[in-house]
Amino acid sequence: DWTTGNVIEEQVAAIREQVGDRRAICGLSGGVDSAVAAALVQKAIGSQLTCVYVDHGLMRKGETEQVEKDFVAATGVQLKVVDAEERFLNALKGVSDPEEKRKIIGREFIRVFEQAQAEIIADEGPEVAFLVQGTLYPDVVESGGGTGTANIKSHHNVGGLPEDLEFQLIEPLRKLFKDEVRMVGQELGLPEEIVQRQPFPGPGLGIRIVGEVTKDRLDLLRDADAIAREELTAAGLDREIWQCPVVLLADVRSVGVQGDGRTYGHPIVLRPVSSEDAMTADWSRLPYDVLAKISTRITNEVRDVNRVVVDVTSKPPGTIEWE
Ligand code: XMP
């Protein structure tokens, strides 16, 4: 009989058995999967688990605090936060090409994470032998089902990890689908905002600024995104839409009139989509009054923005994200 209670009990026992008196590391992304995996392992082995959260400065408003405060409060997990905002912004300086941005963010992420791992191993010793991953059943099927160990190769090892260090993987969500993971998370007492979070790309807002990524532009986009999310939630639309990227066209300006004067500001794009699995998507027919509210608030409250546009493209041909 499948119940969340049974799943939790089984996994807790299995993880305890697997880990014994050794130690595990888990990277938190702010997403549902890593949060639930970490909470489950925390329940099993408590302070033998250390979580790592790399703050790349590309998260939406409040999301880093959600991990640092709410997740820790709900689980009691031991968390190492690495503030790497400056490092990411420096690495992204002058870069506008989407693929290049993705590569840079991915590369920096691995470097920072491995550095943190090395520090944890230096602190805690060689009994750190496990890496927790939030792999779901659909990921297992897509990748052909193999698992077991994670090989940390020296070529992207900048943190002084021993060469070819092998971690055994703990993947407590391997048999679960997304909705089941959410139920397990809820049962484990995780905050609603984490358990019900919509998909958000790893490279974060870095791929939602068309143009160069700067601190100033990120702050602006965070404000616009927070307004859109607030109004969609207030309208009760969170479950109806799959996700709603909010995109800043930083290299585009248009003429507007705000207050007593002419402005020359940037457009914000709303990209609400409905989807089953993100492979295909349709643009969401949001109620006009919700769109009107979001548009009015963004143009009134967010500096340098004088226009809000809605993306009415399906996937295909458009991807969900703009980059
Ligand atoms: P696209 O833009 O390809 O997005 O239609 C499909 C889904 O994937 C998410 N996405 C990502 N998720 N890392 C992630 O973890 C990424 O680099 C990434 N790029 C896109 C996107 O938000 C959508 O849900």
Which CATH number belongs to the domain containing residue 68 in this structure?
3.40.50.620
Indicate whether this model's pTM tops 0.90: yes
Task: With respect to residue 149, please indicate whether it lies within any of the assigned structural domains.
Answer: yes
Are 251 and 185 in a shared domain? Answer: no
pLDDT in tens, 145-188: 666 777 654 444 455 556 666 799 999 999 999 999 999 999 99
pLDDT tier at 140, thresholds 50, 70, 90: confident
Model pLDDT, residue 166: 79
Residue numbers belonging to the annotated binding site? 29-35
pLDDT in tens, 280-304: 999 999 999 999 999 999 999 999 9
Cα gap 116→306, rounded to integer Å: 42
Are 249 and 123 in a shared domain? Answer: no
Domain stops at, among 173, 195, 217:
195
Predicted ipTM of the assembly: 0.99
Are 229 and 270 in a shared domain? Answer: yes
What percent of the chain is modeled with pLDDT above 90?
A: 88
pLDDT tier at 68, thresholds 50, 70, 90: very high
Model pLDDT, residue 164: 66
pLDDT in tens, 212-234: 999 999 999 999 999 999 999 99
Task: With respect to residue 282, please indicate whether it lies within any of the assigned structural domains.
Answer: yes
Are 294 and 161 in a shared domain? Answer: no
- Which range of residues forms the domain containing residue 246? 208-310
CA 196 distance to own-chain centroid: 13
Task: With respect to residue 323, please indicate whether it lies within any of the assigned structural domains.
Answer: no
What's the mean pLDDT when you consider all of the chain?
Answer: 94
Are 184 and 147 in a shared domain? Answer: yes
What is the number of structural domains in the chain?
A: 2
Are 24 and 132 in a shared domain? Answer: yes
Query: Which residue of 320, 322, 323 sits with most ligand 1 atoms within 8 Å of its CB, as the best mutation to test the pocket?
Result: 320
For residue 315, which atom of ligand 1 is closest to its CA? 5
Are 223 and 176 in a shared domain? Answer: no
Are 228 and 177 in a shared domain? Answer: no
Are 8 and 91 in a shared domain? Answer: yes
Are 60 and 156 in a shared domain? Answer: yes
How close is the Cα of 264 to the center of ligand 1, in Å? 31
Task: With respect to residue 203, please indicate whether it lies within any of the assigned structural domains.
Answer: no
Residue nearest to atom 4 of ligand 1 (CA): 320
Contact 250, 299 (CB under 8 A): no
Cα within 13 Å of Cα(178), Cβ side: 12
Cα within 13 Å of Cα(24), Cβ side: 31
Are 223 and 302 in a shared domain? Answer: yes
Contact 18, 130 (CB under 8 A): yes
Model pLDDT, residue 162: 60
Model pLDDT, residue 163: 61
